[in-house]
Amino acid sequence: MNPTTAKKIFIFDDNLEILELCTEILEDLGCEVKTSPTTTNVEQQVLDYMPDLIFMDNWLPDISGIEATKLLKSNETLKKIPVLYFSANSNIDALAREAGADDYLAKPFDIDQFEEVIKKYVSA
């Protein structure tokens, strides 16, 4: 993938190990990655980057992943960006639905499963 067509992924997660692991996997897949450990000014953070896909953790400093996802999905400019809910909660499917996320991935995740989800949303 050449840099002009690299897919942009934004990951909101306060676990630095998760951020590092996901960034490494995504960069290996040819994606450009931005991460944030908080949802402070979430709409502005996303507007400044305009990613092709967003990973949203449930437990985040400032506002919850549910509230952050709802803000993004109610923003005319941002609502078409797929949001993938990303959490270790046992009821992640219900949380993802409540948030209005497009999909979800439970933690801990299998790397192959993670890559499959990425390809589903950012295939050329």
Task: Write the pLDDT tens digit of every residue in 19-62.
Answer: 999 999 999 999 999 999 999 999 999 999 999 999 999 999 88
23/60 Cα distance (integer angstroms): 18
The two tokens of residue 95 are 């949380």
Q: What is the pTM of this model?
A: 0.93
- Token pair in block for residue 87: 């959490």
**pLDDT higher than 70, residue 72:** yes
Rounded Cα distance between 106 and 95, Å, is 11
Residues near 22 by beta carbon (within 8 Å), at least 6 away in sequence:
11, 13, 33, 35, 55, 114
**What is residue 4's predicted lDDT score, i.e. its pLDDT?**
59
Question: Which helix H or strand E contains 54, and what residues bound it?
Answer: strand 53-57
Check pLDDT > 80 for residue 123.
no
pLDDT digit string (tens) for 79-105?
Answer: 999 999 999 888 999 999 999 999 999
- Quick one: CA dihedral 119, 114, 83, 31, positive or negative? negative
